[in-house]
Structure 1
Amino acid sequence: MRSTTTANAAELVDLAAALAASGERAILGITGAPGAGKSTLGERIVSALGPDRAVLVPMDGFHLANAVLASRGLRNVKGAIQTFDDAGYAVLLERLRGQLPGETVYAPSFDRALEEAIAGSIPVPAEVPLVVTEGNYLLADSGAWPRVRASLTECWFLDADPELRRERLVARHVAFGKAPDDARAWALGSDEENAVLIEAMASRADRVLRVL
């Protein structure tokens, strides 16, 4: 892993603002293991910059549907790298990188309560200079994931404290309906297996960050 830089959220908002002021469409990727704080940081940046300067397009909109996962015997590892439409995500980022003036691209979101993606729910106007995208596998080197990395102007890897990260995951799973024992088993099982894979990718990031 590259050396980790400590930064607070305000400093990272300033870095994102500089990307938004570059004069052309920029795509900022935020990655890290499950529970590292990717969504929180992405939402903080977009909220601080406002809708005229930034929009959040999460990778989670490319989860395969539960019915598809069940048909492939993957429902119990939802969130693993093979449970995403990597090619669809790559195509979306390529469209956003080369978006035409006046065009609006519609991206999918992910509803955690339903545990399903919602198509066409995030409008991205061409005039918005910064797209922030966050997810686990932005730095992966298999399938269509290298095309994802190629579309990113910068990619930040969040290096969170492992115990804090796991506790966040347990709390998240409980909040969305899992029993506490099931939540902890998922966080320490499937989520942790994914974390090992993701943390091996950190050297491909532009910045490795510990957020204060």
Structure 2
Amino acid sequence: MEFSELEARARVLAATDTRRILGIAGPPGAGKSTLAGRLARALGPERAVVVPMDGFHLAQAELERLGRADRKGAPDTFDVAGYAALLARLRAPAPAVVYAPAFDRALEEPIAGSIPVDPAVRLVITEGNYLLYGAGQWAGLRALLDEVWFLAPDDTLRVRRLVERHVRHGKAPADAEEWVARSDEANARLIAAGRSRADLIVE
């Protein structure tokens, strides 16, 4: 599917009197943040903003306390209740700016209050692995999203890009490959189960 088709679909969502939330889901390395950012730039900051699920990663210190640091990125390493609460808040815009957290890949930490969502913005684009995950509190997210797209690129390319990303952010190549094979791909299998709940599959 061409980007122009995706942009046109996003513009339809943004051309309403009420705020809409577009979700972009998919496995690690699928290109979710790249597509979300490109859509937001095409529509312009007065109409669209990106609010990533990754802003709700638990802090590294908390992951270590819980004994989950070695599988960061798994469903239970996020504050899903906090993410759901923010999405619900964004669906009913208040007359003031709402601030959302971002995720700093260089620090590998969430950064609170980083993304301003102006009341006039009509399309919030949220992207993340588990938007269509059907277990636990994650299952309630789908009802908060007006439309969800699932990105399904070629797995060989996706895994290669994922390893390269880990290397760029400080992992040795062998460590990056081990992390992807053990952690990221285990998460990818969980994520794939939600594909049938998407409104659109982007291959």
| Residue 187 of structure 1: aligned partner | 180
| Residue 13 of structure 1: aligned partner | 7
Kindly state the Cα deviation for residue 14 of structure 1 after the two structures are TM-superposed.
1.1
* 1:48 aligned onto 2:42: yes
SS across alignment from 2:116: strand
* 1:29 aligned onto 2:56: no
Structure 1 Cα separation of the partners of residues 190 and 146 of structure 2? 23
SS across alignment from 1:82: helix
Contact kept, 8 Å, 1:86 with 1:143, in 2: the verdict is no
| Residue 121 of structure 1: aligned partner | 114
Structure 1 consecutive aligned stretches of length 4 or more whose deviation exceeds 3 Å? none
Contact kept, 8 Å, 1:58 with 1:133, in 2: the verdict is yes
| Residue 87 of structure 2: aligned partner | 93
Contact kept, 8 Å, 2:99 with 2:116, in 1: the verdict is yes
Structure 2 Cα separation of the partners of residues 203 and 10 of structure 1? 24
1:204 to 181, 186, 197: 197
Alignment of 1:120-199 (within 5 A): 120-199=113-192
Contact kept, 8 Å, 1:20 with 1:26, in 2: the verdict is yes
Kindly state the Cα deviation for residue 66 of structure 1 after the two structures are TM-superposed.
0.3
- TM-score calculated relative to the size of structure 1: 0.94
Alignment of 1:103-118 (within 5 A): 103-118=96-111
Kindly state the Cα deviation for residue 67 of structure 1 after the two structures are TM-superposed.
0.4
CA RMSD of aligned residues (A): 0.8
How many residue pairs get aligned? The number is 203
SS across alignment from 1:137: coil
Deviations 1:86-123 (A, max 9, x none): 000000000000112x2211000000000000001101
Kindly state the Cα deviation for residue 22 of structure 1 after the two structures are TM-superposed.
2.2
Kindly state the Cα deviation for residue 144 of structure 1 after the two structures are TM-superposed.
2.2
Name the aligned partner's letter for residue 17 of structure 1: R
In structure 1, stretches of 5+ residues that fail to align are: 1-6
| Residue 70 of structure 1: aligned partner | 64
